[in-house]
């Protein structure tokens, strides 16, 4: 069965600092991977997705993620954090039409 592990339930960074949110997956087939963001009192919004092809995927709001098959990882990064990036972030792996979600990482950004 497929699964997702997000390391660190809380991450804190200063405004302008690098954001790194970690995601490792387990899959017996080539995975489709997703990152979602959830702002307070809202649903989830797609940040980016990896299907096939280029391993570095660019998403919205300056985020990107790199698929590393050898490390079974799909970490999310942003070079410079902004206060508006404070939210909860979820990594997910596909299982046919279903998604398996990680437990989420809450990002805090300090001025």
96 binds another protein (CB under 8 A): yes
* Shortest distance, position 2 Cβ to another protein, whole Å: 11
| b/e map 49-63, b = 16+ CB within 10 Å | ebeeeeeebebeeeb
Residue 111 corresponds to which tokens in the numbers above?
């001025």
Query: In angstroms, rounded to a whole number, what is the distance separating the alpha carbons of residues 36 and 79?
Result: 18
Residue 57 φ then ψ, to 5°: -115, 130
Nearer to another protein, 30 or 111 (CB): 30
Q: Find the binding residues for another protein in span 72-91 (CB under 8 A).
A: 90
Instruction: Enumerate residues 9-28 that contact another protein by CB under 8 A.
Output: 9
Where along the sequence are the contacts to another protein (CB under 8 A)?
9, 32, 34, 36, 41-46, 49, 51, 90, 94-99, 101-104
């Amino acid at each position: 069965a497929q699964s997702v592990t997000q390391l660190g339930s809380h991450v804190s960074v200063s405004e302008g600092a690098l954001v790194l949110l970690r995601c490792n997956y387990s899959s017996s087939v080539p995975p489709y991977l997703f990152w979602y963001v959830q702002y307070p009192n809202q649903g989830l919004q797609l940040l980016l997705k990896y299907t096939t092809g280029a391993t570095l995927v660019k998403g919205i709001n300056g985020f990107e993620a790199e698929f590393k098959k050898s490390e079974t990882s799909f970490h999310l990064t942003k070079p410079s954090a902004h206060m508006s990036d404070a939210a909860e972030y979820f990594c997910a792996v596909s299982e046919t039409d279903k998604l398996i979600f990680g437990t989420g990482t809450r990002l805090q950004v300090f001025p």
